[in-house]
Chain A
Amino acid sequence: KNEVEQSPQNLTAQEGEFITINCSYSVGISALHWLQQHPGGGIVSLFMLSSGKKKHGRLIATINIQEKHSSLHITASHPRDSAVYICAVPPFGNEKLTFGTGTRLTIIP
């Protein structure tokens, strides 16, 4: 069983829709990363959070440490948001990241 589970695996939505991607993990962690990977392959770190909520533009990330769950939300989605979104966690005392399988998001104009 993967230590980091994401859902859904694939998501197609219309432009403007509110998007939610979920991540559950089974190990104790210090922080959780949300990453974005565009079709070209390059990875951008969107958020690193260890509690509560963070917001950057139209992106919001929340985490519940007790429930071992995090969500990534995109408001007013746009075709340029189409990418693979990956959550990753470093287990306690470890810089190494364990990655979720990713959520492939496609926003249709």
Chain B
Amino acid sequence: GAVVSQHPSRVICKSGTSVKIECRSLDFQATTMFWYRQFPKQSLMLMATSNEGSKATYEQGVEKDKFLINHASLTLSTLTVTSAHPEDSSFYICSAPQGIGSYEQYFGPGTRLTVT
């Protein structure tokens, strides 16, 4: 089946630094990818929709200048958490629909970010 990978799986960084998380579709092309954040014992919350070749669409309350998204190719989207703070510590997950308009979605394994 379709596979989505994320890198890194776990990252610890100091407050004030920036962290880049990659999301790759390994055996299919994804014009759209979704980025989610999950705090402990809470459900996933959609942060933004990443669109290949155009600007990302951010959900209400998500700062686009803090969470930079770049969908550089049909198989790669990156999320950069800029000037990270401890409250940004969370589990970040991406997903990708298998085709345009497809409701079948494949999830990455997630990236656990800890900001000290």
Contacts and interface: CB of A to CB of B under 8 A. Distances in A.
Contact of B110 (A30, A41, A45, A102): A41
A76 interface: no
Contacts of A43: 44, 93, 95, 107, 109-110
Nearest to B102: A95
A97 interface: yes
Given A30-B103, A48-B104, A97 B34 contact: yes
B107 A41 contact: no
Interface string B39-73: 00011111001000000000000000000000000
Contacts of B32: 95
B43 A86 contact: yes
Contacts of A48: 103-105
A31, A42, A100 — most chain B CB neighbours (10 Å): A42
Contacts of B44: 43, 86, 97, 99
Given A41-B112, A42-B109, A96 B49 contact: yes
Interface residues of B, number: 24
A46 B32 CA distance: 21
Contact of A101 (B43, B95, B107, B110): B43
A31 B102 CA distance: 10
A100 B107 contact: no
Contacts, number: 53
Contacts of B112: 41
Contacts of A100: 43
15 contacts: A33-B105, A41-B93, A42-B107, A42-B110, A43-B44, A43-B93, A43-B95, A48-B104, A90-B103, A95-B34, A96-B34, A96-B49, A97-B46, A97-B105, A101-B43
Interface of A: 30-31, 33, 35, 41-45, 48, 86, 90, 95-97, 99-102
